């Protein structure tokens, strides 16, 4: 089998469900050892570790709230103790706490920014520290000193009424990624983002759980199907592998065309 991540060590935050679980499975199949971060889903993370081991892959479960500096630092220490090095971070954890702006509490605003934006900063910083400490290893498993893939969203460009905290967090991720990429390229650290469209996961269950809801959602998707975690996972494998070695600071939209303003197709 083609194993573009052979010998590499990765951390995937929010790896026990949805897109993160898809990324963890695809990374393991691609030859990486995967640290599967979870916050509350310990059993799901451990079940995924066992599933990956049964298929001949390597994984460990890593508990941490990505918005907590001390927990993030402890998680990276645990991963480095287990793996001996780190090649890839997929900063994927994210939440929604939706409310019209007039009703949004400061707690809802802060929690979403803390997890979706500050959490990506904290994890990226610890990954960069590990990458800088190990440097480019000429006979290492990758041409880069390290790779970071941040999970953004089409809502880093598409405004989203009723979700101001979420859209602001993803807009922040978009420029965090470009700035880190610009700052770290000379150290041979590559930072890129994936912006998924509508992917079938627990975060948006009400958007696809009934045929009526799915039909409304499909009106926004030119390609005519809801995305699956595997669609995003394949993009993450590519962005983490040497196949994308010259891709620095880009955002890859994996959205079935959702960012193409499909309403203009029929009403332009």
Question: Active-site positions?
Answer: 166
Measured from the CB atom, is 92 or 244 closer to ligand NAD? 92
Q: Which residue among 5, 24, 34, 115 contacts ligand NAD (CB under 6 A)?
A: 115
Residue 19 binds ligand NAD, judged by CB under 6 A: yes
What is the DSSP secondary structure assignment for residue 253, as one 8-state letter? E
Closest contact distance (angstroms) between CB of 91 and ligand NAD is: 8
How many residues can be counted in the chain? 268
What is the DSSP secondary structure assignment for residue 255, as one 8-state letter? S
For 92-185, list the strands marked E by DSSP. Answer: 146-151
Closest contact distance (angstroms) between CB of 21 and ligand NAD is: 7
Total residues in contact with ligand NAD, by rule CB under 6 A: 28
- Is residue 182 helix, strand or coil? helix
Stretch that binds ligand NAD, among 87-95, 134-142, 183-191, 240-248 (CB under 6 A): 87-95
Q: Which of residues 208-267 bind ligand NAD (CB under 6 A)?
A: none
Residue 198 binds ligand NAD, judged by CB under 6 A: yes
| 146-151: strand order across its sheet | 58-63, 33-38, 9-12, 88-91, 146-151, 189-196, 251-254
What are the phi and psi torsion angles at 228 (to 5°)? -115, 155
**Residue (of 49, 13, 121, 136) closest to 85 by Cα position:** 136
Contacts with ligand NAD, residue ranges (CB under 6 A): 13-14, 16-20, 37-39, 41, 65-67, 92-95, 115, 151, 153, 196, 198-199, 201-204
């Amino acid at each position: 089998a083609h194993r573009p991540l052979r010998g590499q060590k990765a951390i995937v935050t929010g790896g026990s469900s949805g897109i993160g679980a898809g990324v963890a499975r695809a990374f393991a199949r691609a030859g990486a050892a995967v640290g599967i971060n979870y916050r509350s889903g310990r059993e799901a993370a451990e079940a995924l570790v066992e599933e990956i081991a049964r298929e001949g892959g390597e994984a460990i479960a890593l508990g941490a709230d990505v918005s907590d500096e001390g927990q993030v630092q402890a998680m990276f220490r645990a991963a480095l103790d287990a793996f001996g090095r780190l090649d890839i971070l997929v900063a994927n954890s994210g939440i929604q706490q939706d409310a019209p702006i007039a009703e949004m509490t400061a707690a809802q605003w802060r929690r979403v920014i803390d997890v979706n934006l500050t959490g990506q900063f904290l994890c990226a910083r610890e990954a960069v520290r590990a990458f800088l400490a190990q440097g480019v290893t000429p006979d290492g498993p990758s041409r880069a000193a390290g790779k970071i893939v941040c999970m953004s969203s089409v809502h880093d460009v598409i405004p989203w009424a009723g979700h101001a905290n979420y859209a602001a967090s993803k807009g922040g991720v978009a420029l965090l990624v470009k700035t880190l990429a610009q700052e770290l390229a000379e150290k041979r650290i590559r930072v890129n983002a994936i912006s998924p469209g509508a992917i079938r996961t627990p975060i948006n269950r009400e958007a696809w759980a009934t045929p009526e809801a799915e039909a409304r959602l499909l009106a926004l998707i030119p390609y005519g199907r809801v995305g699956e975690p595997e669609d995003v996972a394949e993009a993450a494998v590519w962005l983490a592998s040497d196949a994308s070695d010259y891709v620095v600071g880009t955002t890859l939209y994996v959205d079935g065309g959702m960012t193409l303003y499909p309403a203009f197709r029929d009403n332009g």
